[in-house]
Amino acid sequence: MRNFIQFLVKNSFVFLFLFLEVIAFALLIKNNNYQNSKFFNSSNYLVGNLYESVSNVTDYFNLKTTNSELAQHNAELLSANINSFTKIYGNTILINDTSYFQKYVYTSAKVINNSTNQRENYITLDKGAINGIKPGMAVVNSNGIVGIVKNVSPNFSSVISLLHQKMSISGKLKKSEYFGSVIWDSDENNHRTATLKEIPNHVEIQKGDTILTSGFSAIFPEGLPIGTVQYFDVPKGSNFYNIIIELTTDFKQLSHVYVVKSLQKEELDKLEGLIPKDVN
């Protein structure tokens, strides 16, 4: 026993080192499993506030691009306005007899921290639980999809970016309606491209084809742009295409985004019950 204690005392430095490494790896593995402790992520109060005040300054550098994006978006909304339509005089009149109800609610938010160079990228937004944001909501911007909300604190929320090695989103080819999953290739580490998988090789595709969200997961509204086909081939012995897509969202220029609340998600999730979600 005495020898054992002597051994411990003699090697206490090594044991302290091993102890601290075990803590570090425990944190690492816990973090990788997405049970990230609520205190230590970037929506934590102190760091969140610091990022917000830095973002208050750095936002000015992006004003020009943000303005033009907003102007473009405004133009699109104006063109969808009822005033920009006129009645059709003629023999055929379109009668719309379906009654609509609202399916998605959008909340605008500002990006106050963003990373693109890690294997697992996260985005911090300046809106949180007070503004009705909950984990699992989709985040989009005027160009395309951005990510899914992971954690919320009262005033901030952190979002798993599409640029995350474990993110997978259901997407479909606009032309043929075939669907597959869009996965970011973390080994390539390119913030402009992703891979579309599970498209069978008999489907006709061309360079430049558009990929939209499929709407299957009820997180993202159907028909939002994800990207365009940049390159495709069929690996030897495979029945599926290997498609590289160029993302429509430029993750290096994110500043204003919309958080999408799906009003039907709960109902749909309840119904689908045991089916595992395609996003973890």
Partner 1 sequence: MLIDIIKHSTRFLALLLLQGLVLNNIELSDYINPFLYVLFILSLPLYASKYLVLALSFVMGISIDIFSSTLGMHTAACVFMGFLRPYILKILEPRDGYENNFSVNIADMGMKWYAIYVVIMVFTHHLFLFYVESFSFSQFFSTFGRALVSTIFTLLLISITQLFYYKPSKKRR
Residues that bind partner 1 (CB under 8 A): 13, 16-17, 20-21, 23-32, 36-37, 40-42, 44, 47, 54, 115-120, 122, 158, 187, 189-191
Tell the smallest beta-carbon distance from residue 50 to partner 1 (Å): 8
Tell the smallest beta-carbon distance from residue 104 to partner 1 (Å): 28
DSSP assignment of 219-243: SSPTT-EEEEEEEEE--TT-SB-EE
Nearest to 182 by CA among 267, 117, 243: 243
Report in angstroms the alpha-carbon separations of 276 from 125, 270, 279, 280: 28, 12, 9, 9
Beta carbons of 162 and 194 less than 8 angstroms apart: yes
**Residue 51 or 220 with smaller CB distance to partner 1:** 51
The torsion defined by the Cα of 174, 103, 218 and 36, in degrees rounded to 10, comes to 130
CA-to-CA distance for 194 and 70, rounded, in angstroms?
Answer: 26
Nearest to 219 by CA among 134, 156, 142, 153: 134
| Burial of residue 141, with CB atoms counted within 10 A of its CB: 0-12 exposed, 13-18 middle, 19 or more buried | buried
Tell the smallest beta-carbon distance from residue 39 to partner 1 (Å): 9
Which tokens go with 10? Answer: 């003699």
Which tokens go with 183? Answer: 């996965």
Beta carbons of 161 and 111 less than 8 angstroms apart: no
Beta carbons of 198 and 178 less than 8 angstroms apart: no
Nearest to 168 by CA among 279, 249, 251: 279
